[in-house]
Amino acid sequence: MILEKAIFIKLKNLKFSDQQLFDAAVSGFNPSRHTCRICGAVGRFSEIHSYQRDMISTNGSVRVDTRLSIRRFQCGSCGHTHALLPDVLIPYGSYSLRFILTVLLCYLKRSSTVTNLCRYWGIAVSTLYDWIHLFIIQYNSWCSVLDRILWVCSSAVSSICDFPAFPSEFLLRFGFSFLRGRSATPSGSIRLPDRRLRPHPT
């Protein structure tokens, strides 16, 4: 996998859609400058083929489902193949980072029940709580002890979106994308807390 930086400014200041960011990052990718994460060879990538995947994003407060063509490259040194994924996407999932953060902010506004919120965005309630718990764990892994949170809050979402190098800096530090789910995470590296510990509004 090749994770290409697409978000160069603060996430909250983005004026481009995820589709536009994806297109810009993919079209600007230069394989001659990239290093294979498997063998360390530089500039040995050859484009082989592409595959289709879905991206679920937002346009304002509306869900937008898009079909993307993901470019694949093969390392001429070790033979491994790598998909080119801009950092607006979370590997092994369809939801864009912005989509998840938008849903979390809507959840925090408490303007509707969790059931109605999830119905509006077309997600399962369990998915929402998976995101909340992932956010808490990964946010706390990244922030200092004094800034740690017990539950997702708008100030935490805002501060993480305000971080200039987010989300690429998180990826560099931890080796996986922010809000990447447990099913796609190497076993043992992230454990979700028991959700019974936390009451939630309905």
Which residue, 17 or 77, has its beta carbon nearer to Zn ion? 77
Nearest approach, Cβ of residue 30 and Zn ion (Å): 17
Identify which of 140, 55, 144 has the alpha carbon closest to the alpha carbon of residue 100: 55
Binding residues vs Zn ion (CB under 5 A): 36, 38-39, 41, 75, 77-78
Nearest approach, Cβ of residue 40 and Zn ion (Å): 7
By CB atoms closer than 10 A (0-12, 13-18, 19+), residue 114 is middle
- Report whether 103 contacts 123 (CB < 8 A): yes
Nearest approach, Cβ of residue 169 and Zn ion (Å): 25
Nearest approach, Cβ of residue 183 and Zn ion (Å): 26
For 98, 111, 129, 185, 189, the CA distances from 64, given in Å and listed in that order, are 11, 21, 21, 26, 32
Which residue, 41 or 165, has its beta carbon nearer to Zn ion? 41
Which residue, 39 or 124, has its beta carbon nearer to Zn ion? 39
Which residue, 38 or 172, has its beta carbon nearer to Zn ion? 38
Nearest approach, Cβ of residue 44 and Zn ion (Å): 6
Identify which of 128, 143, 107 has the alpha carbon closest to the alpha carbon of residue 179: 128
Say if strands 45-59 and 62-75 run parallel, antiparallel, or are unpaired: antiparallel
Rounded to whole angstroms, the Cα distance separating 200 from 98 reads 23
Which residue, 79 or 122, has its beta carbon nearer to Zn ion? 79
